[in-house]
Structure 1
Amino acid sequence: MRKLFVLPYVLLIILVLGACSSGGFKADHKYEIEPFEFTNQNNEKVSLDDLKGQVWLSQFVFTNCTTVCGPMMFHMAELQDQLIKNGVEDYKLVSFSVDPKNDTPEVLQEYLNGFATDPEDTEKDWDESKWEMLTGYTQEEIADISLKSFKMPVFPYPDSSPEAGQVLHGVLFSLVNQEGQVVKSYNGNEDVPFDQIVKDMKALIKSGS
């Protein structure tokens, strides 16, 4: 009789633990982001502390980019559309300029506006309040935070090279948790795993860690 009494509770515990593990978020790594305070497209200060408590997805781009940045911005805009359609609300998108000398807040605002609408998809959703386009630092500072915090190099091409005026940078989207740690990375330039990113962001928001 005692075994029959205990058995339902054992099964209940197994079911609860199974539900918790199957619905949780699993980080690939935890890179600590160094504290920062930069300026966004609205000339407002945005710090790491301001972003803590929210899940955010970051990228490194610049407005004069002639290669990967356009596709990356388009993919980030597409991702936001999917986040909105999936009812995801507590998140931020953060774009760090790797050309701060030229990318003033006004330039970044104009650049962002170019991705606000899609003439081929009038049903695409958009929420600029979720997007921070950051500048207001030196080239050395952004190269330092990109490498140390996001594990991606940033190298301006020499003035003497055919690519003068361009900046070599990583093309990953980095998922950041509520504590300011990079926990996953995805290709943001091509073959972007939109469904997986949405799934991961929803799970991370739900887990609260």
Structure 2
Amino acid sequence: MKSVTETPKPRRRAEWVLWIGLGLVSATLLLLLLLAQLLRSQANAAKPLPVLGQVADFTLTNQDGRTVSLADLRGHVWVTDIIFTRCTGPCLRMTGLMRQLQEALPPGNQAKFVTLTTDPEYDTPAVLKTRANQFNADPSRWLFLTGTKKQIAEVAVNSLKLTAVPKEPDKQETPADLFIHSTQFVVVDKQAQMRGFFDTAGEGVDPTKTKSDILNAVRRLEKER
């Protein structure tokens, strides 16, 4: 009967040492990769947000019928978008997100929220007041602004680079399908400089991440002079 040849113990020990060594090398490489990602994230966080343009002076009317100008927003970080109250598309969702931002920042916070209308002939201060109340807007922090078509175009389109275009009647899917407008939120700093554009709708957009990114931008800009 033939005897079974066993692997010498020193050889087995060498194999175990080799595998342990490979494991340690892999773990070290993984830790180095994670450290590099952490350092990159910290570097990006420390890097100032880019200046993307300057908001020009404007004068509009808020939901309480009071005149609001750019001077009223200087010294504050503010978040803005453009909607219209007859909208049956993304507008309610956008206004809901603005409410979440208001709720996420405590009442003592100096940030402001600005909702522009692309339908000023219909969206009078009274109409905007109703919409503001529906979303529990704090009038000292959240402004719903209207004006003439020209005034709205100057601030929304020319300054903030948002889209606000009347829809051709033959392309309107419903009676309320009146405008093509941006679904982006714009974050503006204390010097009325645009510092970030954030998509709130579209393929691949995560509303939770969008909210987090906007809040992060606001908090970073509040630390600037």
Q: TM-score if structure 2 supplies the norm length?
A: 0.71
Match in the other structure for 1:200: 217
Cα pair 1:143 1:155 within 8 Å, conserved: no
**CA RMSD in angstroms, aligned pairs only:** 2.2
Match in the other structure for 2:151: 141
Structural mapping, 1:38-57, within 5 Å: 38-57=60-79
Name segments (4+ residues, structure 1) moved above 4 Å. 21-25
Cα pair 1:103 1:135 within 8 Å, conserved: yes
1:23–1:67 Cα change, 3 Å:
closer
Cα pair 1:58 1:93 within 8 Å, conserved: yes
Which ranges of structure 1 fall in alignment gaps of 5 or more residues? 1-20, 117-125
Cα pair 2:58 2:151 within 8 Å, conserved: no
Cα pair 1:63 1:111 within 8 Å, conserved: yes
Cα pair 1:55 1:90 within 8 Å, conserved: yes
Q: TM-score if structure 1 supplies the norm length?
A: 0.77
1:25–1:59 Cα change, 3 Å:
farther
Paired residue type of 2:75: G
Cα pair 2:60 2:151 within 8 Å, conserved: no
% identical aligned pairs? 30
State whether structure 2 residue 85 is matched by structure 1 residue 74.
Answer: no
Match in the other structure for 1:188: 200
Match in the other structure for 1:123: none
Deviations 1:17-36 (A, max 9, x none): xxxx8875622333111110
Deviations 1:32-61 (A, max 9, x none): 111100000000000011111111000001
State whether structure 2 residue 193 is matched by structure 1 residue 178.
Answer: no
Cα pair 1:143 1:153 within 8 Å, conserved: no
State whether structure 2 residue 166 is matched by structure 1 residue 156.
Answer: yes
